[in-house]
Amino acid sequence: MSLNKKNTPPASQEQFPLTKKNYILLAIGAGLIALGFILMSTEGFIDATQFSLSLYVSPVLIIGGFVWIIYAILAKDKKETNPNA
């Protein structure tokens, strides 16, 4: 039995699943998450009667960062979606 190599593309045609755009978007999402955790750790005592970055803004940044990362993983280039154009 010999291995049939007709189905494997040459090394020069192999593509990574994520592009440069995806990695940039991933870095932005990771930055949002890091900023959220940094803001969350800045205040030692939280008083719910006063506006607090660590109580109101940080959770939104962290959840937004995770949503951004999901988008970054799923985002496709317009050039890749329509190869015939």
51 within some domain:
yes
Pull the structure tokens for residue 34.
């890091």
Angle CA(65)–CA(80)–CA(69) in degrees, nearest 5? Answer: 10
* E strands present in the chain: none
Per-residue pLDDT tens digits for 1-56:
556 556 655 656 677 788 889 899 999 999 999 999 998 887 766 666 777 777 88
Total number of domains in the chain: 1
48 within some domain:
yes
**pTM for the model:** 0.69
Per-residue pLDDT tens digits for 41-57:
877 666 667 777 778 88
Residue with the two structure tokens 């049939």: 4
Q: Which domain holds residue 69?
A: 17-76
Per-residue pLDDT tens digits for 60-71:
999 999 999 999
